[in-house]
Structure 1
């Protein structure tokens, strides 16, 4: 475990990215959400959410590049109807390989209000890489693993973690 710290001002900007991620995604602002990523940014879901446990059943896989991230967010906007909420919690931000990179980890909690009273839809772990760009700090990659995790089988093999 790296116990180092990024400069306070960098941490403030990165924490804002986490918050804007939730606000933009929850309110269907696909373009703004995708703009939080570097041009070559990626979102990886390591496992399929188990529908029988109340998850959405979103597929495992990686979506790369801003245009594809916009399309993914638009699809979720249409599916969620503005009634699903994401919360990032317990963010830990550490130095990356140089002053223009940082790594983060957090928990994600998703609640679904589409059928009246809210229900817990997903809980997971996020591993995040950040990069400083000319526009400021951006997500380079987000890797999400939700609970419960089904044991890999030939029909449900989990892809390897994304690496950069």
Structure 2
């Protein structure tokens, strides 16, 4: 069975872009926002509240400026750069046009704030990429926490 695929250069650029997502987010690096389009969205589909082990993040963040504020408040201040994403099973497929692509990944998030790392969350990421004048960028990212409790 053959699956639809992107030109190799596009796929490599997208894979590199997405790999940086985890590294920059975990570091609370301000360069995180450069991975996104100006109007990007970041959605937590079913994230439980902090009282039930969730991140306590809002359901949706819209725009690069808000993503930057979220990185400062959450990754630097709340999580103190001690939460880490490990992405796996990433694949990308063509979207509706040559400037659109859709990626899928699984993510294990570990929490190192209280010493040795412990499992914090497992989620399914869906990421829409857009080709811009600066190369591929993330147009939207959503995470669905597994299991969903239903």
TM-score, structure 2 length as denominator?
0.91
Equivalent residue, structure 1, for 2:96 = 97
For structure 1, the 5+ residue unaligned runs are 152-164
Give 1:52 shift. Answer: 6.4
CA RMSD of aligned residues (A): 1.7
Matches within 5 A, 1:3-152: 3-29=3-29, 31-49=30-48, 51=50, 54-59=53-58, 61-77=59-75, 78-151=77-150
TM-score, structure 1 length as denominator?
0.84
Give 1:145 shift. Answer: 0.6
Tell me how far apart the structure 2 counterparts of residues 41 and 135 of structure 1 sit (CA, whole Å). 15
Give 1:89 shift. Answer: 1.1
Give 1:53 shift. Answer: 6.1
Deviation digits for residues 25-65 of structure 1 (CA, Å, limit 9, x no counterpart): 11110x21111001111100011236566443434x21111
Shift >6 Å, 4+ stretches: none
Equivalent residue, structure 2, for 1:159 = none
Deviation digits for residues 96-123 of structure 1 (CA, Å, limit 9, x no counterpart): 0110100011111100011011101010
Tell me how far apart the structure 2 counterparts of residues 27 and 17 of structure 1 sit (CA, whole Å). 15
Tell me how far apart the structure 1 counterparts of residues 3 and 52 of structure 2 sit (CA, whole Å). 35
